[in-house]
Amino acid sequence: MKNKKRAEFFSPFFIFVSVNKMNVIKSLLRFFGSNSKTELEEVNSKEYQEMKKFLIVGLGNIGAEYVNTRHNIGFKVLDYFANQENISFQTQKLGDVAEFKIKGRTVLLLKPNTYMNLSGKAVKYWMEKENIEKDNMLVITDDLNLSFGSIRIKTKGSDGGHNGLKNIQLLLNSTEYPRFRFGISDAFKKGKQVDYVLGEWSLEEKEALNERLSISSEIIKSFALAGLNNTMNLFNGK
């Protein structure tokens, strides 16, 4: 009876702890002599499910006028992926969301509908709602400093002047989250950066885009199945 009471004392805390604290809780249960398989199984199940859930965020602006612009490559990648996997987006709170299952893992695709400058609001909401850690989130964004179609996946970094990343960094209070930068190049005249970023792809870029989008889809799968470091090794520089 004494052991049972001690175990029950810790039970209410299970729903408040993050994945990286689960082992501590399990150790405490064992230390205080809990013999309840159910309690330990609940901890294991919650830990397992949260570790197997991923959030892929594509950055962009809502509205038909932005669909084919360079700044919306994050949306473009997710739309391509969803089409290839035959899944659909549903409009939910702060964004359009689709769910994809692969080998026991759940991948949530998010296109924030907050406009680019407030992307962090949607990112934070869905991370908290789904109990997804930063390490299991990948943000897809355009990058002027990379040549067209170049891929650079990083574990952390500055916002690089990108307003979407800047807002995510502000609301998460961190620069340490995985991001996938898709190069759009800097082939614009002085003073024309905004027009270029919000402009549509050139004919030459459009012809090459599908091959780049196909690789981007493989990156999403690799991130969920092989992890960030392996994905970086496989795809950076391709």
Q: Which one is catalytic: 71, 76, 121, 179?
A: 71
Q: What residues form the annotated binding site? A: 66, 115, 117, 163
- Interacting residues of 206 by C-beta distance below 8 A, sequence separation 6+: none
Give the residue from 204, 125, 208 showing the smallest Cα distance to 172. Answer: 125
Give the residue from 209, 211, 125, 205 showing the smallest Cα distance to 168. Answer: 125
Question: 71 an active-site residue?
Answer: yes
Contact 217, 77 (CB under 8 A): yes
Residue 107 phi/psi, 5-degree rounding, is: -115, 120
Q: What residues form the annotated binding site for tRNA? A: 66, 115, 117, 163
Which residues participate in catalysis according to the annotation?
Answer: 71
